[in-house]
Amino acid sequence: MWEEGSENTSKNGGKRRQVWQSVSNLKRHSDGKQQGSLLRILEAAFMCPVGSGWPLLLLCGLLPGAAAGGSGRPLPHRTLLDSEGKYWLSWGPRGGRLAFRLEVRTAGYVGFGFSPTGTMAAADIVVGGVLRGRPYLQDYFTNANRELKKDVQQDYHLEYAMENSTHTIIEFTRELHTCDINDKSITESTVRVIWAYHHEDVGEAGPKYHESSRGTKSLRLLNPEKTNVLSTAVPYFDLVNQDVPIPNKGTTYWCQMFKIPMLQEKHHVVKVKPVIQRGHESLVHHILLYQCSSNFSDSVLDHGHECYHPNMPDAFLTCETVIFAWAIGGEGFSYPPHVGLSLGTPLDPHYVLLEVHYDNPTYKEGLLDNSGLRLFHTTDIRKYDAGVIEAGLWVSLFHTIPPGLPDFRSEGHCTLECLEEALEVEKPSGIHVFAVLLHAHLAGRGIRLRHFRKGEEMRLLAYDDDFDFNFQEFQYLKEERTILPGDHLITECRYNTKDRARMTWGGLSTRNEMCLSYLLYYPRINLTRCASIPDIMEQLQFIGVKEIYRPVTTWPFIIKSPKQYKNLSFMDAMNKFKWTKKEGLAFNKIVLSLPVNVRCSKTDNAEWSIQGMTALPPDIERPYKVEPLTCGASSTSLRGNVSLELLLGFMVLGGTLSTASL
């Protein structure tokens, strides 16, 4: 945080006016005599010897009582990238470009970049700092062998640089799409940023190796800004774990059921934010909150349990609809000013399940955690109740993904038949979607939510072409989207199973898969699930299955013929089949065209009449045709210097702020 300067700002006001007047004069008459005069004014105004090197103006502002924390233009998003509090990133839009500010505890260089995998391979990197009073910023890239090379096309534009005895701050901008083959385009998808720093600046041989001062973090850089600010008087309640013992293993998923506090009247939840135990910022990786069935006694609240464990309480299995998601690096979620999550009425959640993913890569022992979520609520009821619809593939073993494939696609349909029936009864004028959570598991690589109306495809509702299972949060839509009766939604998921030797099945475990979209919308209607699952018998016909034992008395059911599969479960038969890349692609094509079983559910698992019926998927273009990216304005080379006016502007801002501990 930056604190206001302790100086009397009016005291230096006259001197600053002299500076700006001198800047104006200098722009009209740029000769050496007037430049020298301006230097003397700067020295007097800021009590700092400037000398003849203009870049030293940046360092001048770093003396106590005269340091700026940046260009003075606020950036709406801010997150800590490392676990020690040494590397902060701020970002946000600025004039059609994206602006970044790096605040790092080092007096050497600062590195930042974008990587397809979170490693140094094939990365887009920028390195900057302040060396002997001169700011520098250079655009680099790496090849597949992680070799660092300076980019011929310099697409990062320095806007501010400072250094003091403890910190370096660099502020720069770049276009979203530079059309440089060595740069990564910035889209609404997840971005894996990489970071590094060193105690020495960049020399003639380039940046020195950063050793362990490096890392990666998944972020969504194009989230819309959230402008509504809560009053400090808004009440809240916490759903937090109590002394959960974290096993000394890399990954733990912990589930705990909670009962929503008894409320005497209707309330609206207007914001949800994470409550992370101090010191556990890197331990708590993500949190999901599910709505559960209302038909329980409070005995289900007694004990938490590892999620997806064979001995997990049956009650946990009824908690299927995600109503909130947070991931490390994410922010709290605020509902739009006209919408709130209703609590306190018979239709509202009574029980919820908190799922926390703990990441303990160093296998620390003896950890106890008390993290969770904080829900802010009010009796100042907003115009609309928010609802959540789960759309996509019904979670089932009938969702099948062969092994060894770099690119397999699954589709889940929220069919026009389901939306026609439910919306015609509940809201013929349609519902309005304002945020979406796209959800898959560890094999997931990309998810798109496609939207069709009367056979015509509309703009994507949401997408993430670089999905990261460990970074999941609701995406705010830039503008609300209306869903009408008869619309059709397709959740399209892309998977990579190259490292798997056996089939991947739909299921709850992280090694199983899902293909889901959670739509936050208003006004709330009685529709909680709009999903589908492809016919399993036609999938089995692909591998040569002819007949199963009927009636079905065991699960998974047993195959009767042909001989090579006789008395095997359908899961064992699918695993026995010799999958090749060619066979996998042929199977994928068939699965996408199969009839689907429609799931169309109400609250507490009641069903609309369309539930269980068979529907044909629409005839659509596959794969989805991505719109071409538009390049930004022409890039210019950075020459290691910044314009005189810009430097002076930073200097004047420097006199109004003081440096606080980062």
Give the angle subtended at the CA of 292 by the CAs of 288 and 295, to the nearest 5°. Answer: 160
3-state helix vs strand vs coil in the chain, percent to 5? 15, 35, 50
Q: How far apart are CA 447 and CA 320, in angstroms?
A: 19
Tokens of 463: 């997408």
Q: How far apart are CA 293 and CA 528, in angstroms?
A: 12
Q: What is the 3-state secondary structure (H, E, C) of 104-168?
A: ECCCCCEEEEECCCCCCCCCEEEEEEEECCEEEEEEEEECCCCCEEECCCCCCEEEEEEECCCCE
Beta carbons of 192 and 89 less than 8 angstroms apart:
no
Beta carbons of 90 and 103 less than 8 angstroms apart:
yes
Beta carbons of 379 and 265 less than 8 angstroms apart:
yes
Q: Is 253 a catalytic residue?
A: yes
Q: How far apart are CA 520 and CA 489, in angstroms?
A: 14
Catalytic option among 87, 253, 495, 522: 253
Tokens of 595: 């009839």
3-state secondary structure of 575: helix
Exposed / middle / buried, residue 662 (Cβ in 10 Å: 0-12, 13-18, 19+) = middle
Q: How far apart are CA 616 and CA 593, in angstroms?
A: 8
Q: How far apart are CA 188 and CA 165, in angstroms?
A: 37
Closest CA to 135 of 637, 636, 642: 642
Q: What is the sign, positive or negative, of the torsion defined by CA atoms of 357, 361, 365, 370? A: negative
Closest CA to 113 of 166, 151, 168: 151
Catalytic option among 286, 399, 439, 441: 439
Closest CA to 618 of 387, 454, 395, 409: 454
The CA-atom distances, in angstroms, between 297 and each of 255, 350, 537 are 17, 11, 40
Q: Is 199 a catalytic residue?
A: no
Q: What is the sign, positive or negative, of the torsion defined by CA atoms of 522, 527, 529, 532? A: negative
Q: How far apart are CA 547 and CA 558, in angstroms?
A: 9
HSE of 453, CA atoms in CB hemisphere, 13 A: 10
Exposed / middle / buried, residue 94 (Cβ in 10 Å: 0-12, 13-18, 19+) = middle
Q: What is the sign, positive or negative, of the torsion defined by CA atoms of 100, 103, 108, 111? A: negative
Exposed / middle / buried, residue 295 (Cβ in 10 Å: 0-12, 13-18, 19+) = exposed
Q: How far apart are CA 374 and CA 371, in angstroms?
A: 10
Query: DSSP character for 576?
Result: H
Number of CB atoms found within 10 A of residue 211's CB: 9
Q: Catalytic amino acids?
A: 253, 439
